[in-house]
Every structure is written in C-alpha cells, then in structure tokens.
Amino acid sequence: MDLLEFFLQDGVEKKNNFDLAIEKVLKKMKMSKRNWEKENKARFVCSMTIFFPNGKNFTSKGIINGRISKVKKGKKGFGYDPIFVPQGYNKTFGEMKLKDKILIDHRQKAFLKLRKFFY
C-alpha cells in the first residue's frame, strides 16, 4: 500500500490546504510503529483523457515512484511536492528546479502520451 493512500484512508483529507495535510502525514509517520526506512513507498499518478466529438476517447497515465521525506523541504511546486522524493533522487519535488522536475513529472509523462493529438 502506498504511504499517502495509507494516510488518506486514515482521515487525512486532501483539500486545498496542503500544508495542513502534509503536517498530518508527517505527524502520523512519526507516531506510527512502521519502519518507514524500509516500507516508505509513494507515487504520484496522473490520468488524462481527451474526448473527441465523434465519441472516441484516449486516456493516458503518468506515474512517478518515490518516497515520503521525513521533513518538509523546498517551496517550489504545490500539493505534496515538499515531501515527495522521486525514486533515484535525494531532493523533494519542492526543492527541484522546474526544468529538472518536468523531465520526470507524472503530469508530463501523461501529457506526452496525449500530445500527438494536439500537433
């Protein structure tokens, strides 16, 4: 089970106040008896669908795997970016420059699969 899914099931609500949601996630991580060094897996998933007037549609999905940082780091991005560390990196999305993040971002991956319909 993904870490954020675990906490969302446990009452952490995803609303517009991500600072509060992040604080709840970090607090629950500290209180939990789980070994977060070994069991810390998270992912961002983006699904995009384009619908055509003829009724056809095409759906794409972009996924980035990673883990949750023990502390909030960085001020860039939005949402859970300050606590999400992509697999293979030591920085959170919140610390990354946009030009670096966009190369691995889940939204970008999903869009690239749809872009052929726009050009």
The Cα 97–Cα 79 span in angstroms is 16
pLDDT at 67 over 90: yes
Contact 93, 108 (CB under 8 A): no
- What is the reported pLDDT for 33? 77
Q: Would you place residue 32 in the very low, low, confident or very high pLDDT band (cuts 50, 70, 90)?
A: confident
- What's the average model confidence in pLDDT over 10-38? 76
**How many domains does the chain contain in total?**
1
The 8-class DSSP code of residue 3 comes to: H
**What range defines the domain where residue 50 resides?**
3-117
Predicted TM-score (pTM) of the model is 0.79
Instruction: Write the single-letter amino acid at 45.
Output: V
Residue with tokens 């300050």: 82
Q: Would you place residue 59 in the very low, low, confident or very high pLDDT band (cuts 50, 70, 90)?
A: very high
CATH number at residue 39: 3.90.950.10
